[in-house]
Amino acid sequence: AGRCSRGIPLAASAAVVVACQALEVAAAMSTLHALGWPKAFVAGIILKCILLQVILFLAEGVLQSRSLSTVRPLIATVSLWVHANRMARDMLTSALIFASMAPLVLVNAINEAVCPRYNLHQMLIYRSAGHPQSREAAPGAERGDGDSCCSDADSEAAWAQCQAGHQCSSVPRLVAAPGGRTLST
């Protein structure tokens, strides 16, 4: 499936086809560049890319046509050209994604090796690292009532604890308090 009829890998065919197309674009657009027309040069490259997409679309239609299935050498050539172009596009997209993510993955790996407790990635996206607290260290545990800071949120200290990120085991009910702030009960 990934090879053409003579055993050449499709990825190699994709590289050769794209290189030939790039040489054709360079040869055709070199005159515009030599004349010092940078806008026409860019417009010509854009036109070539659009025409390539249109011709690829039409070639895919030819491949699906039943009337041309008797001309096997033509169909094999068109099929190789279409598949090589599509694979080159997929390889370029994958390379772009890899190149953009690789430096940040490396930074994250170094961060995990140097400071495993503090995740830079989590700090950058404003999330808690998710380190669970023990029941004894949880706010409100000293009174023995577990989630009392959220259920008794009428005091300023309890409100501050809830705002600091205490996780309740039950979903609190929100009520309006004097002063315009919302309290959970």
Its pTM stands at 0.56
Residue 87 exposure: Cα atoms within 13 Å on the Cβ side: 19
Question: pLDDT tens digits, residue range 3-17?
Answer: 555 678 888 999 999
Q: Specify the pLDDT at position 75.
A: 87
For residue 5, give the nearest of 60, 77, 59, 71 by alpha carbon. 77
Return the domain boundaries, the chain. 10-114, 146-184
Mean pLDDT by 10 residues, the chain (185 residues): 67 92 92 91 94 95 82 86 94 96 92 86 68 51 46 55 53 53 53
Q: Is 54 strand, coil or helix?
A: helix
28: Cβ–Cβ under 8 A, 6 or more apart, which residues?
44, 48
